[in-house]
Structure 1
Amino acid sequence: MEVILLERIAKLGQMGETVKVRDGFARNYLLPLGKALRANAANKTRFESERSTLEARNLERKSEAQKVAEKLEGKSFIIVRSAGETGQLYGSVAARDIVDVLAAEGFNIGRNQVDLNHPIKSIGLHNVTLHLHSEVEIAVAVNVARSAEEAERQAKGESLTSADAIYGVDEDALKPEDFFNPEADFDGEEE
């Protein structure tokens, strides 16, 4: 199906372009959300008459997104979750959780604007990309920790999942022969 784009869509085209897309994508996403019109003569004339208002609305949304991006620039958000000794979370941190933390800080971000391909399943610092507008995206740091104190230590660069932090062992001092001695008898004594 050919459609006329009413806004810029990543990996598809710019506003005003006529592009060919799959029927299901057009019927289920582009047309219901008002992102495109079917490419026929009536809609082409309608688009040309409304082009200036669409461009103005798009520019306004872009400027609002840039203001939000400036406020988010360099911010880090802390999410406290239960985790095991190795840093594996007992649950996970999904896009919904990130939206909730952002809302608590006063940012109105939709779940579909959070680019998180896989849920976060371990403690640590994670970069998450937010798509505020089709032309504006920003990465924010999400600090997942077991407590607020632990989050502060992680923010300073301290690793909380290394062997030294967990077991009090210096990883650099460990050698392979400390774990396996081929000349040892099965009872652990050397021959």
Structure 2
Amino acid sequence: MKLILTQEVSGLGAPGDIVEVKDGYGRNYLIPRGYAIKWTRGGEKQVEQIKRARHAREIRDLGHAQEVKGRLESLSIKLPTRAGESGRLFGSVTVADIAEAVKNAGGPEIDKRRIELAAPIKTIGVHQVTVRLHPEVTAKLEFEVVPA
């Protein structure tokens, strides 16, 4: 099955890429979740739009990725969240919350899909996540969850 990716899929490709996958994987996973659309000749026009949008927000090269990594790792980020007496959060911290906290702390605007959260963050304290900036560059982002 030939598909056009609309979002980045680990191990498969980036938005705008045309990929060949097994029918079941495309029909049952990629298309229903909005990660891909079926390939058509008309879809080729959409590929150009997707690639232009990706290029506008993409990190330009390895040097730019290293610069952004330095800025991210030097930030002091505090994320105020509602928490109970024992230090457990009401809910959990999401990647969207982390991306917003980075922006509010004066850091670069990063795409929430580039943040890798190993396990849900449900407690107060210092936590660390990985941010994939470039295929060769990952940044370790450290932030503190504080009660609001």
1:128 CA drift (Å) = 0.9
Letter in 2 for 1:68: V
SS in 2 for 1:98: helix
Letter in 1 for 2:102: L
Structure with larger RCO (C-alpha < 8 A, sep 6+): 2
**Cα distance, 1:30–1:128 mapped onto 2, change above 3 Å:** same
**Count of aligned residue pairs for this structure pair:** 119
1:76 CA drift (Å) = 3.4
* Equivalent residue number for residue 97 of structure 1: 97
User: 2:72 touches 2:107 (CA, 8 Å); kept in 1?
Assistant: no
Structure 1 length normalisation: TM-score?
A: 0.48
Tell me the distance in 2 between the aligned counterparts of 1:31 and 1:136. Answer: 29
* Equivalent residue number for residue 72 of structure 2: 72
Larger Rg: 1
Instruction: Specify which structure has the higher proportion of strand.
Output: 2
**Cα distance, 1:76–1:59 mapped onto 2, change above 3 Å:** closer
SS in 1 for 2:83: coil
**Cα distance, 1:132–1:59 mapped onto 2, change above 3 Å:** closer
* Equivalent residue number for residue 130 of structure 2: 129
Letter in 2 for 1:86: S
Letter in 2 for 1:144: V
| Cα RMSD for the two superposed structures | 3.7
Instruction: Specify which structure has the higher proportion of helix.
Output: 1
Tell me the distance in 1 between the aligned counterparts of 2:79 and 2:59. Answer: 34
**Cα distance, 1:62–1:2 mapped onto 2, change above 3 Å:** farther
Percent identical residues = 36
1:145 CA drift (Å) = 1.3
User: 2:59 touches 2:134 (CA, 8 Å); kept in 1?
Assistant: no
What CA deviation, in whole Å up to 9, does each residue of 1:83-127 have, x standing for no partner? 112110123211111111111123110111111244311101111
